[in-house]
Structure 1
Amino acid sequence: MNIIQTVDAIQNKHKPSLETGIDLVPWTLPTIPEIPHWHDTLEICYCVSGKGVFYFIDRQYDITTGDLIIVNNVERHTSKSYRGDPCSNLFLFFHASTIEQLDYNLLRPFIYNRSRFTHKIPSHLPVARQIGELMLRMQEELLAKRPAHGPLIKSMLFQISSLLLRHYHVETSDMWHRFYNKYATLRTGLSYIQSHYHEPISLDHVAKAMSLSPSRARHLFPEVIGEGFKTYLTHLRVQAAQRLLVQTDLSVEDILGQCGFQSASSFYRDFQKLVKETPLSYKKRLSSSEHPQRFT
């Protein structure tokens, strides 16, 4: 396996199964948040116990037992537990295409105008309780693996998506079709970046992949995800480097080259800016930890 294949192999992407359409992950948030990140799947977090906080680009939400957090597949986020009260959760991951094939309107809660959207659904609302119960039932079905558990879990996913659509109807109804088209276009560009971030790509390359002018592509990034192309690309490269530092024995020189950095100085500068420590101190700290790094 060459180095680029190694990078792809340790991306830690959540892989919903074909049988159920989902990946359901129990996870207790760390007390120190990792670098903000994103997934190629949609995400719902259900807080089972404890207290924590979710951070997005320009806002944060405290969560406690019964709360939900809704995350799409283009917005960077991170999270942590409060010390002394570990935040245990169920994370539900699924591809947009899974619910889109039933009714593309079910994507509305995940394709939103960030200035109007609220990621948190508090526990006192009936919809939070209903969705939490459905996620717990999913977990039971996955553990028991009774006949027809796959279609039953998919039906629960459609129920959850429908409940979210009803809850977010007002926040997602205004000019949604126009925003959906922007999202669909940008998703093509993000897929290109995910496949070519280890190369010396530019905005021109990504614009061409989206069949847009560089000027239009430059404006599309902040319109949809709230940050520019360069910021998005830098975060992706640093995130890939973090995983390689902890999960392989590759040298820093090999890692920076295979993550797309053009020089050691740019790698060290960007890494320290985002992670707040040097690559070697990060590797030492995480490699010696009893709990390996995981991005949720």
Structure 2
Amino acid sequence: MLTFTEKLAIFPKEGFSVQGTYEYTRDNHRLPACWKTENDACEPHFHSSIEVLYVLKGQIRAALNGRPALVGEGEFLISPSYTVHYYQTEAYSYAYVLTIPTEAIPSYKSFLSKKTFANCCCKDRSGGEMRHCLEALNRLTLEGEEESIRRLNTIKGYVYVLFGLMLEESGVQDVSENQNTSLAKDILTYLQAHYQGDLTLDALAQTFGYSKSRFSHLFHEYFGSGISEYVNTLRCKAAAEALARHEVSMVEIAMGVGFESARTFYRAFKRCYGMTPSQYASRHTAGKVYRPGAAGGKSIFG
């Protein structure tokens, strides 16, 4: 029988990829993707694609590079390329999420290297045009659809129309990335690479050249949580993917993703997902991995 370490060596990306922090998998997509989501919640992350959140019902609390936003019904939020963002539903929400690779909008790619959206949270005043575009993109970008030239051109057309509508509402301004925004990306990338190890406030503060109190303050300001809570969420997400794809014991999974004990793993997992690891494994269906907080669990971000 293979050891857990050997199994990780066989399935290093597919089984234990963590799509929080820097979403490498998102940046592998060539085409826009649009889906509906209920009670959306996600940990802080960033990617090169532009992400649009459009709330159909309820409210979603969000943050872009540490700046909070409350997105209500009929409003949309734009996360520009490489902007650290996260969502949290406190009561109920139903929304569209659209990701647009910059390669899909070549006419805007050069423009967006120097300009960005002036107001990232806006009211939809398009008279239904924006919703129509999102409905069409949701239908056209469903998995399994044939990539015909006609379909690809239709997707491109809707994306350009939607992009124009968003720019009309938000306006534009010059790009200016401050030092703390760059630091936030560096922290997320570092945590993604090292979440399986022993991460302490002392070690992280020293790595990034800050005092413990200053680093802790910056972390909470940008990511809406404490360091241990955030790291445990990354570990739980990796564990959820392991539960869905591999036949290994709970203890092996707990140790493999960085928890010191099965008890700590069970407690953290239930807090994230609202169910025990065993319940998650039994409810899991092929191709579906719950987001933390999306199945009745308590997301740490808000």
Give 2:8's aligned amino acid. Answer: I
CA positional deviation for 1:70: 3.5
Residues 136 and 158, structure 2, Cα contact 8 Å, conserved in 1? no
1:43-82 deviation line (CA, Å, top 9, x unaligned): 22457xx756645488865547xx5444575333256997
Residues 52 and 62, structure 1, Cα contact 8 Å, conserved in 2? yes
- How far apart are the structure 2 equivalents of 1:134 and 1:182? 33
Give 2:99's aligned amino acid. Answer: L
Aligned pair partner of 1:75 in 85, 91, 107? 85
Counterpart check, 1:37 vs 2:19: no
Distance 1:265 1:91, change over 3 A: same
Q: Which residue of 2 aligns with 1:126?
A: 126
Q: How does 1:50-69 map to 2 (within 5 A)?
A: 51=57, 54=60, 56=62, 61=71, 63=73, 68-69=76-77
- How far apart are the structure 1 equivalents of 2:205 and 2:159? 34
Q: Which residue of 2 aligns with 1:212?
A: 209
Write 1 or 2 for the structure with the bigger share of helix: 1
Mark the runs of 5 or more structure 1 residues left unpaired by the alignment.
none
Q: Report the secondary structure of 1:91's partner residue.
A: strand
Give 2:26's aligned amino acid. Answer: K
Q: How does 1:1-296 map to 2 (within 5 A)?
A: 2-3=7-8, 6=11, 8-10=13-15, 11=17, 13=23, 14-17=25-28, 20=30, 22-25=31-34, 27-29=35-37, 33=39, 36-41=42-47, 42-46=50-54, 51=57, 54=60, 56=62, 61=71, 63=73, 68-71=76-79, 74-77=84-87, 89=96, 91-94=98-101, 102-108=111-117, 118=121, 121-123=122-124, 125-126=125-126, 129=129, 133=133, 136=136, 145-146=148-149, 153=156, 164=166, 167-168=169-170, 177=176, 180-209=178-207, 211-215=208-212, 216-284=214-282, 286-287=283-284, 289=285, 292-295=288-291
TM-score normalised by L of structure 2: 0.63
Percent of residue pairs identical: 18
1:152-203 deviation line (CA, Å, top 9, x unaligned): 94x9878866765664459x89xx84x6321111101110101111111223
- How far apart are the structure 1 equivalents of 2:170 and 2:86? 20
Distance 1:219 1:92, change over 3 A: same
1:236-271 deviation line (CA, Å, top 9, x unaligned): 111211221222222111111121112222212222
RMSD (Å) for aligned C-alpha atoms: 4.6
CA positional deviation for 1:213: 1.3
Residues 39 and 74, structure 1, Cα contact 8 Å, conserved in 2? yes
Residues 36 and 76, structure 1, Cα contact 8 Å, conserved in 2? yes
Distance 1:5 1:223, change over 3 A: farther
- How far apart are the structure 1 equivalents of 2:248 and 2:280? 14
Q: Report the secondary structure of 1:2's partner residue.
A: helix
- How far apart are the structure 2 equivalents of 1:93 and 1:228? 30
- How far apart are the structure 2 equivalents of 1:182 and 1:78? 22
Give 2:276's aligned amino acid. Answer: T
Total equivalences in the alignment: 265
- How far apart are the structure 1 equivalents of 2:87 and 2:128? 21
Of structures 1 and 2, the one scoring higher in RCO (CA 8 A, sep 6+) is 2
TM-score normalised by L of structure 1: 0.64
Residues 238 and 271, structure 1, Cα contact 8 Å, conserved in 2? yes
